[in-house]
Structure 1
Amino acid sequence: MISRSKSLVLFILLVPGSPFCMAQKWQTQTDSLLQAFKKATTPVQKVKLLTDAATIFLLQNPDTALLLSSEAEAIAESNGNDTSRALAYAAKSAAYLIKDNDAMILEYALKGLQLSEHTPLPPDVLAALTRKLGFVYRNTNRFNESVEAYKKALAYSTRSHNLYDMATTSSNIGNIFNSFNKYDSGLIYHNKTIEIARKANFKDIIVRSYMQIINSYNGLKQYPKAFQAVSDMQPYLNDPDVTQVTKGLVYTVIASLDMRHGSPQHPLAARYLDSMKHLITHTGPGKENLINYYLNRSLLEFSLNHFDSASAALEKYNELKKTRDDEIISGHAQELATRYETGKKEAQIKDLDQQNRLRKKLLFGSFTASAIFLALLFWVWLQNKRIKKQETHLNYLMKELHHRVKNNLQIVSSLLNLQSARIDDAQARKALMEGQHRIEAMSLIHQKLYQTKTTSRVNIQEFIAELSENLLHAYGYKAHNFNLQLQVEVKELEADMAIPVGLILNEVVTNAFKYAYKNVSDPALYISLQEQPNKLQLTIGDNGRELTEKAWKYSTSFGRQLILSLTQQLEGTMQLNCDSGSVFTFTFPVKPVQA
C-alpha cells in the first residue's frame, strides 16, 4: 500500500482557485475571503469564495475546511449551477483527502465528474476532480486506473495553463510508476516534471524530481546515471525556495545511494549526512528524515569501523523508530503519557543511582576489601551488559537481514507474476507460476524467521498453515468446500531444517492441487508433522487418483528431482503409498532443539 504522508498530500492537493495555498499569512487571507463572502450577491460568487477559504484551511484546520466546503455545497445545490456544484465537490473531496477517507474522496470526485457529462466544466475543476480519483486508485493499488486518472488530470491542467498543477501531476505519475517498479516510465515523467518546473522556477519540485530520478536509476541498477543525477541536482540544493523537509529527503537518498554503490570511503554519504546533521541542529527536517539519517549514519560508521559512534547512531535510530511506531498505534495523547511516565522513571532511576553512588563512597572508606570486590562485580556486570548489547545488535541485524531477504523474494515473485502475464505459452506460464510458488515458500520462511524471538528457528506450525492456505487459494479452491486437515505437533524447527522441509511440503502440496483432484467431488488434503525419538516424520496425503508408484518412480519432472534432492540433503527417507489416494511419508533424523 502506498504511504499517505503529508508531503504526498501537499504534492497533489490543489483544487480550483487555490493560489493561496503557498501563502504565509493564512489568517489574513481567510478573514479577507470570508468578509468578501458576506458581501457577495450571487451564489456562484459565494461558492467560489467559500471554496477558496476551505483550500487555505486544509492544512491548518481540516475540520473547518470540511465545514466551509459543506456550506459551499449547500449553496451550490440550492442554486443548481453545475460549475458551482463541481467547485464545492472538489473542495469537499480535498478535505476528505486530508482526513484519509478514501470512500468520501471517491464519492465527491465522481459526483463532480458526472456533472461534466452534461455541462462543460472549466479544465482546472476537471483536473482537481480527476486528481482525487488518481489518489484513491493509488492508495488501493489500482495501478493502471491511477495512472490513467492522473494523465487525464495532466491534460486538463495543460489546457488551463496551470504550470504548478502540471508539474505536481506529472511528478505523481512518475512516483506511481516508481512505486510499481516501472522505472523507465517513471523517468519519462520525472524529466517532464523538471522541464515544466524550470519554466516557472519551482525549485522545490525540481529537487524532488531529481530525487525520484535517482530512485529510478537505482531501481534500474544504472548507478552511474544515478550519481550523475545527484551532480545535476546539486546547484539547486542550497536555494532558499527548497524546503527543509525536501532537503532532508534528498540528503538521505544520496547518502543511501553512496553507501550501497559508492566508493569504499563513501564521501557523498559523509558529506550529505553532515549536511543532514546541520539541518537537524537548526531546523525540523521531519521525523522520517531523522530516522533515515540515523540509519544511514549507523551504516556509514560501521563501514568505517567506528563502532562506538555506529552503535550510538543505531540506538538513536531504534529510539526514533519506536517513538514513530508508538505514535501511529497509540496517538499523540498516549505518546505524551508515555513520555511523562518514562521521564518519571528516569528521574527515579537517576535518584537511585545517586543514592547508590553515595553508599559506595561511604563504604569505600570503611570496607576497602568489600569495595574492591564490588568493583570486580561491577566490571563483570559491565562486560555482561556489553556482550548482551552486542547480542541484541546482532539479533536486530539478523532480523533486518531476514526482513530484507523476504522483501527481495517478494519482489522476485512479483516480477515472475508480471512476466507470466505477458507470456502466451501455457507451459512457460505454468513453469513461472511454479517457480513463483517456490520463491513464496522461501519468502514465508524468512518472514517467520524475523517474526520470532530468535533468528535461527521457524514457527513451523504457522508456516504450514499459511503455506497450505496460500496454495489452496492460488489454485482456485475455497475453504468451505475443501477438507484441509493439519496435525502439526512440532511448534518450531531450526532454520537449516525448516527451509528444505518447507520446500518439500510446497512441492508435494502443489502437485496435489495441480493433478490429484480431477473428477474428485470432495477433495481432501492431510498434512501431519510428528516428532519421534531422534527423528521427524512428515506425512502428506490426498484423496486423488492420478498418481501411481510406477508413474512416480519413472517421472523425470523437476519437482520430483527437487524433492529427492532435498530429502537426501536432510539424510532422510521417503515412502509413497497410492492404495487410497497418494500418501507421501518423509522421515528425517533430527537433533534435540537446544535451549
Structure 2
Amino acid sequence: MKDKRFLERLPLAADKPWLGQFAAIAVIALALCIRLAASPVMPTGYPYVSFFPAIILTAFLFGWRAGTLAAVLGALAAWYFLIPPLRTFKFDPQVGFALCFYAFVAIVDIVLVEWLQRTNRRLILERERNAALAQRSEILFRELQHRVSNNLQVVSGLLTLQRREVDDETARAALDEAARRLGLIGRIQRQLHEPSGEQLSLPAYLRQIAGDLIDAGGKPGIICTVESDSGVALPPDAAIPVALIIAEAIANALEHGFADRDTGTIAIHVRREQDYIDLTVVDDGHGLPEDFDLAESRSMGLGLARMLAKQLEATFTLSNETGAAARLRLPVEA
C-alpha cells in the first residue's frame, strides 16, 4: 500500500524474486569493486570486509533468499579474487577455515535480519487487526448510542401520548415534565459518542444542548452565547448530570424569564478556578421573585438539579443579576 512506511514494505519486490536476485548480484559486484579498490591500503587478511555489509543490506531490502544468494556470490568472489593464490579456487585448510568463518557470520546476519523482519510483519498484522477491531468497536458504540437515544425518544413520545388520556392537571404536568426530560436525555445521549472515553469539550457540549433546548422551546429569537476558558473538559460519566443541571437553568429561563417574550439573551460562562469548574447561566429575563428560596422550592426540575449537584459533590445556586443567574460550582476531581 502506498500509505505504508518504508520499513513496513520490506522485503521489497516480494512478488518478483528475480528483482531480488538481480539486486544481490549488483550489490556483491559493487562490494567486490570497493574491496579491490581498497586493496592497496587494506591490510592482508580481510577478504570479506566489504561483503558482510552487502549481505546485510541485501537481506534487509530483498529478503533472506536474496541475502543467501549474496552470501554465496560473496564467498566465491572473495575466494577467487582476494584469497591467495588469486584467481583460482584452490582449497586448503586455511581457505576452508576462512570460508567457514565467513559462512558463520553470513548465516547469523541473514537469520537476524529475517527474524527482525518477521517480527515487524507480525506487529504490522497485529496493528492492522487492532485498528479494524477499534473501528468496528467505534461503529458498534455509535450505533448503541443512537439506539439508546432513539429508545428514550420513543418513551418520551409514549408519555406525551399518554398525557392526552389524563384529565388531572397535576398528572398531566408530571407527564409533560417526564417526557421533556427523557427527550433531553435522549438528545444528550447522541452527543456522548467518544468510545475512547476521552473527555468532552465542555463549551461545544453546552452550546449544542442550549441550541437543542431553544429549538425545542419554539423561541428562535432567544440568543445563547457560551464563553469559556480554554481546555475545560468533562469526563463522559459527568456529562449527563451536568447537562441536566444546565438544561434546567436554560429551561427555566425560557419558561419563566421569557414567559411573555420571544427575544432575549442567555449567556453561559465556563471558568476554571484551580480545582473547580464554575458554570453560570445568566439571562436578561424577568429574574427570580423577591421571596424566592431555592431550598423551599417545590419545582421538580430544581429539586433534580440540586440532587444531581449533590451527587457530583458540587453546589448549585440561583440568584438575580441582569435576570436570573444559575451557578454550578463543580470540583474537578468529582
Pair 408,457 (structure 1): closer, same or farther in 2 beyond 3 Å: farther
**1:544 alignment partner, SS class:** coil
Question: Sequence identity of aligned pairs in percent?
Answer: 25
Q: What TM-score, normalized by structure 2, do the two folds share?
A: 0.61
1:360 equivalenced with 2:63 (yes/no): yes
1:404 equivalenced with 2:147 (yes/no): yes
Residue 74 of structure 2 corresponds to none
**In structure 1, C-alpha distance between the alignment counterparts of 2:211 and 2:311, rounded to whole Å:** 27
**Equivalences for residues 312-461 of structure 1 within 5 A:** 355-356=13-14, 358=17, 359-363=62-66, 365=68, 366=71, 367-450=110-193, 454=196, 456-461=198-203
Asked if the contact 2:277/2:330 (under 8 Å) is kept, the reply is yes
Which structure dedicates a bigger proportion of its chain to helix?
A: 1
Residue of structure 1 aligned with 2:281, choices 520, 540, 555:
540
Residue 553 of structure 1 corresponds to 295
Residue of structure 1 aligned with 2:209, choices 446, 467, 475:
467
Deviations 1:355-393 (A, max 9, x none): 136422434535122111222222233333333333333
Residue 229 of structure 1 corresponds to none
Asked if the contact 1:364/1:371 (under 8 Å) is kept, the reply is no
Measured after TM superposition, the shift of residue 554 of structure 1 is 0.9
Q: What TM-score, normalized by structure 1, do the two folds share?
A: 0.36
**In structure 1, C-alpha distance between the alignment counterparts of 2:10 and 2:114, rounded to whole Å:** 19
Residue 226 of structure 2 corresponds to 486
**Equivalences for residues 185-204 of structure 1 within 5 A:** none
Query: How many correspondences in the alignment?
Result: 242
Letter of the 1:512 counterpart: A
Deviations 1:2-31 (A, max 9, x none): xxxxxxxxxxxxxxxxxxxxxxxxxxxxxx
Q: Structure with the greater relative contact order (CA < 8 A, sep ≥ 6): 1 or 2?
A: 2
**In structure 2, C-alpha distance between the alignment counterparts of 1:541 and 1:549, rounded to whole Å:** 19
Residue 314 of structure 2 corresponds to 572
**In structure 2, C-alpha distance between the alignment counterparts of 1:563 and 1:363, rounded to whole Å:** 72
Which structure dedicates a bigger proportion of its chain to strand?
A: 2
Deviations 1:444-475 (A, max 9, x none): 2221123x585554454444233323333433
Asked if the contact 1:541/1:583 (under 8 Å) is kept, the reply is yes
Measured after TM superposition, the shift of residue 426 of structure 1 is 3.3
Pair 363,568 (structure 1): closer, same or farther in 2 beyond 3 Å: farther
**2:302 alignment partner, SS class:** helix
**In structure 1, C-alpha distance between the alignment counterparts of 2:234 and 2:226, rounded to whole Å:** 17
Measured after TM superposition, the shift of residue 539 of structure 1 is 0.3
**In structure 2, C-alpha distance between the alignment counterparts of 1:576 and 1:540, rounded to whole Å:** 10
**In structure 1, C-alpha distance between the alignment counterparts of 2:234 and 2:281, rounded to whole Å:** 18
**In structure 2, C-alpha distance between the alignment counterparts of 1:561 and 1:449, rounded to whole Å:** 25
**In structure 1, C-alpha distance between the alignment counterparts of 2:160 and 2:125, rounded to whole Å:** 52
Measured after TM superposition, the shift of residue 354 of structure 1 is 7.6
**1:525 alignment partner, SS class:** strand
**In structure 1, C-alpha distance between the alignment counterparts of 2:265 and 2:159, rounded to whole Å:** 29
Greater radius of gyration (CA): 2
Measured after TM superposition, the shift of residue 520 of structure 1 is 6.2
Pair 390,522 (structure 1): closer, same or farther in 2 beyond 3 Å: closer
Residue of structure 2 aligned with 1:583, choices 319, 325, 334:
325
**In structure 2, C-alpha distance between the alignment counterparts of 1:415 and 1:353, rounded to whole Å:** 63
